[in-house]
Amino acid sequence: MHQDFRRQGVATLLMNEAMRELKKKGCVFLYLKVRSSNTDAQKFYEIFGFKVESVRKNYYGDPDENALLMMARL
Ligand SMILES: CC(C)(COP(=O)(O)OP(=O)(O)OC[C@H]1O[C@@H](n2cnc3c(N)ncnc32)[C@H](O)[C@@H]1OP(=O)(O)O)[C@@H](O)C(=O)NCCC(=O)NCCS
């Protein structure tokens, strides 16, 4: 998301809606991957109950970096 539009609750609205709809459809677990250096996004995901499950070594390129696999229970 463009810097100018961050910290206004937009991603919170989208995440709440996505989680509500997926739960309605019977999903139980939600997974995502995030760059290990992207601590800002990790803080955001933690608010929604995501916890680090495992590390995918060198998952990302340009620059090479590990991915954290995060999981939340709906
Ligand atoms: C991560 C991202 C999606 C958050 O979107 P957003 O619309 O700014 O998030 P919200 O406004 O809904 O934030 C909700 C809460 O999450 C946390 N949070 C969000 N951005 C944060 C940041 N940069 N640093 C620390 N906490 C943050 C805060 O607790 C925030 O509440 P607050 O603003 O009242 O303190 C947005 O910063 C973004 O698009 N980043 C660049 C792309 C990216 O990293 N995507 C994720 C790839 S896996």
**What is the predicted pLDDT for the residue at 3?**
95
Ligand 1 atom nearest to CA at 45 = 16
- Cα(67)–Cα(71) distance, rounded to whole angstroms? 13
In ligand 1, the atom with minimum distance to the C-alpha of 11 is: 7
Alpha-carbon gap, residue 34 to 69, rounded angstroms: 7
The rounded distance, in Å, linking the Cα atoms of 39 and 28 is 25
Q: What is the pLDDT of residues 38-70, one digit of tens each?
A: 999 999 999 999 999 999 999 999 999 999 999
* This prediction's pTM: 0.97
CATH top class, domain 3-73: alpha beta
For the chain, the structural domain boundaries read 3-73
- What is the structure's pLDDT at 27? 98
> What tokens does 28 get?
């139980």
Continuous segment of H or E residues that includes residue 65: strand 65-73
- Site to probe by mutation for ligand 1, drawn from 44, 48, 59 as the one with most ligand atoms within 8 Å of Cβ, is 44
